[in-house]
Amino acid sequence: MDRALALAREAGEAGEIPVGAIVLDAEGREIGSGRNDREAGRDPTAHAEVLAIRAAARELGDRVLAGCTLVVTLEPCVMCAGAILAARVPRVVFGAWDEKAGAAGSVYDLLRDGRLPHPVPEVVAGVGAADSAALLREFFAERR
């Protein structure tokens, strides 16, 4: 989570919502990373999770991220949950809950919805939650 938090800080410093994500392979090595880049990239899909998943898929040479873990500072949204399911990520670890748009248990529980034709990943919530939430609070407080 420390690496994801560092990426989130970088995003905040760049004027992006401070969210960072990494993908770890089965041995715990980082194979992909991302931080929010929607504003600079003028890309509504450039969420940290999506960018980390894309990088990991390139690194593995496969669209399926079997045996991998996604670590992200904020609960994934619906779009990111869809990307996680499409990539077949078996484990998701996140920091702060997203009470407005979360899709891993707060507003929606898309990741664990057994009705979908995807394997249900393990979800571990609240890892580094205080630090993740503080970054977001500070970012938005400066803009209000």
pLDDT band at residue 103, thresholds of 50, 70 and 90?
very high
- Indicate the annotated binding residues for Zn(2+): 47, 77, 80
62-to-6, 49, 74, 82 alpha-carbon distances in Å: 27, 17, 25, 17
- 8 Å CB contact between 87 and 53: yes
- Indicate the annotated binding residues: 47, 77, 80
By annotation, the residues acting in catalysis are: 49
The Cα 106–Cα 114 span in angstroms is: 17
Say yes or no to pLDDT of 144 above 80: no
Instruction: For strands 30-35 and 122-125, give the pairing.
Output: unpaired
Mean pLDDT of the chain: 97
pTM of the model: 0.96
